[in-house]
Amino acid sequence: MHVNSSIARMKESATLAVSARAAALKAEGVDVVGFGVGEPDFDTPVAIKEAAIRAIQSGRTKYEATPGTVEARKAIAAKLQGENGIPVQWQQVSITCGAKHAVAMSLQLLLEPGRGDEVILPTPAWVSYKPLIELAGGRCVEVAGGIQHGYRVTAEQVEAAMTPRTVAILLNSPSNPCGIAYPADELRAIAEVIAAHPGVAVLSDEIYEKLIYPEVTPGLAHWSPGSDPRLADRTITVNGLSKAYAMTGWRLGYVASPANGGAWMKEFIKLQGQQTNNVSSFAMPAIVEALANGAAEVERMRQSFAARAILVHRRLQSMPRLSTVPSNGAFYSFPDVSRCMGLSTPRGRRIDGAQSFAEALLDEHAVAVVPGEDFGECARRNIRISFACSEAQIEKGLSRLGEFVTSLR
């Protein structure tokens, strides 16, 4: 049977592949420490669960409007206006099957296959962006943020990457996999460059917005490009409940844009209506509950992640052959393991890239990390550690990692 060639060429998600491999080893009884998938270890706050349970028991089990209920869309629009300063009306909001599908559909809508459309992607970047850009018919233009600059790209680099074919830039602060948030003034400098290129749209993935650690970088705060008056009407803001509210399995993301006077989101909703229609009906009151009353729970989890970020950096810093940037956002650390290249494990496995490093670490020390290759060309010698797990697991996994790197010869 035929397989579409673009899909055949596409790589599978490395993050999901690592988590599947770690789960399979666990099922075989191996004591694996899972630093693979980026998923909070906390449970969804009780009040949010109860809102959904009440909804399902009262019969909220039928189709809803494709973009979600008016009440849930109004709650999201109010959040985006009030917290982020983004001028969107509730009609310009749609609730999607995870932020992932919001990104996928946004790219499909923005890009014209066969026209040579380019999307600027600051890297290292989340594994799904490049395949989704390419699937939508675009060309991914990677702009590398080096470790020397804390994995952040500069406004000058963005300017240099602009061409007449640039259709969009994809921003993700705080960043997966780098575990860093851009200082607002650096993002504003990038916004300044984009403002000078009127044909360029901004796709801003703000899924880790709530996970920022001024405990690590004093004064650090989130800033949304869609709040810049010069960019507002060409910015698509993507966010969701997965990370902030520990709701990954619920598959709840959202997207909002005032572009084309609201007409852009009408087209988005038309596409969504043909692809998935609405997300689960009984999730709608849970979204309203999360946004209205979830702040204290979010803050409690944020504080735990901040403490873990500090612990992880302290432990990694003391290890030989690794270089890191302190994590001040999301729940990732992205050490550079270049100095392990060319060495071998005591069992004779040679390390020649992040992939072989991660494989040897899993097979010989039962620690799952994601190899850097799929996060960008510049990330071939990095590994991603997701510290969305208990401090005891972090201590155990990092002790094993330390033994592993020290044992290489």
- For residues 90-109, one letter each, b for 16 or more C-beta atoms within 10 angstroms of the residue's C-beta and e for the rest, the string is bbbbbbbbbbbbbbbbbbbb
Task: Give whichever of 248 and 280 is closer to ligand GLU, judged by the CB atom.
Answer: 248
Site for ligand GLU in 146-175 (CB under 6 A): none
Q: How many CB atoms lie within 10 A of CB 260?
A: 13
Which of helix, strand or coil describes residue 96?
A: strand
User: Does residue 174 have a cis bond before it (omega within 30 degrees)?
Assistant: yes
Binding flag, residue 126, ligand PMP (CB under 6 A): yes
Binding flag, residue 248, ligand PMP (CB under 6 A): yes
Please tell me the distance from the alpha carbon of residue 145 to that of residue 125, in angstroms, as a whole number: 10
Q: Report the partner that residue 13 touches, choosing among ligand PMP, ligand GLU, none (CB closer than 5 to 8 A by kind).
A: ligand GLU
Please tell me the distance from the alpha carbon of residue 309 to that of residue 362, in angstroms, as a whole number: 22
Q: Nearest distance from residue 289's CB to ligand PMP, in Å?
A: 18
Question: Do 301 and 247 contact (CB within 8 A), yes or no?
Answer: no
Site for ligand PMP in 250-279 (CB under 6 A): 253
Task: Give whichever of 375 and 404 is closer to ligand PMP, judged by the CB atom.
Answer: 375
Q: Choose, by CB under 6 A, the member of 22, 32, 35, 38 that binds ligand GLU.
A: 38
Give DSSP secondary structure letters for 190-206: HHHHHHT-TT-EEEEE-
Q: Nearest distance from residue 277's CB to ligand PMP, in Å?
A: 17
Site for ligand PMP in 61-120 (CB under 6 A): 98-100
Binding flag, residue 333, ligand GLU (CB under 6 A): no
Q: Nearest distance from residue 375's CB to ligand GLU, in Å?
A: 9
Q: Choose, by CB under 6 A, the member of 22, 32, 33, 37 that binds ligand GLU.
A: 37
Contacts of 375 (CB under 8 A, 6+ apart): 123, 124, 125, 126, 127, 177, 334, 382, 384
Q: Choose, by CB under 6 A, the member of 44, 242, 278, 382 that binds ligand PMP.
A: 242
Please tell me the distance from the alpha carbon of residue 118 to that of residue 205, in angstroms, as a whole number: 18
Q: Nearest distance from residue 172's CB to ligand PMP, in Å?
A: 5
Task: Give whichever of 208 and 357 is closer to ligand PMP, judged by the CB atom.
Answer: 208
Residue 3 Cα distances to 6, 127, 279, angstroms = 9, 22, 28
CB under 6 A: which stretch of 124-132, 134-142, 289-297, 355-363 binds ligand GLU? 124-132
Task: Give whichever of 90 and 208 is closer to ligand GLU, judged by the CB atom.
Answer: 208
User: Does residue 177 have a cis bond before it (omega within 30 degrees)?
Assistant: yes
Report CA 134 to chain centroid distance, whole Å: 18
Residue 367 Cα distances to 26, 36, 408, angstroms = 11, 9, 16
Binding flag, residue 247, ligand GLU (CB under 6 A): no
Question: Do 112 and 162 contact (CB within 8 A), yes or no?
Answer: no
Task: Give whichever of 182 and 404 is closer to ligand PMP, judged by the CB atom.
Answer: 182
Helical segments of 10-86, H only: 14-27, 46-57, 70-84
Four-CA torsion 106, 112, 116, 117, nearest 10 degrees: -30
Q: Nearest distance from residue 12's CB to ligand PMP, in Å?
A: 15
Task: Give whichever of 250 and 264 is closer to ligand GLU, judged by the CB atom.
Answer: 250
Which of helix, strand or coil describes residue 377?
A: helix
Binding flag, residue 205, ligand PMP (CB under 6 A): yes
- For residues 359-370, one letter each, b for 16 or more C-beta atoms within 10 angstroms of the residue's C-beta and e for the rest, the string is ebbbebbbbbbb
Q: Which residue is nearest to ligand PMP (CB)?
A: 98
Q: Choose, by CB under 6 A, the member of 68, 225, 240, 335 that binds ligand PMP.
A: 240
Q: Report the partner that residue 37 touches, choosing among ligand PMP, ligand GLU, none (CB closer than 5 to 8 A by kind).
A: ligand GLU
Task: Give whichever of 100 and 234 is closer to ligand PMP, judged by the CB atom.
Answer: 100
Binding flag, residue 176, ligand GLU (CB under 6 A): yes
CB under 6 A: which stretch of 12-20, 117-125, 344-352, 395-403 binds ligand GLU? 12-20
Residues near ligand GLU, by CB under 6 A: 13, 15-16, 37-39, 100, 126-128, 176
Residues near ligand PMP, by CB under 6 A: 38, 98-100, 126, 172, 176, 205, 207, 240, 242, 248, 253
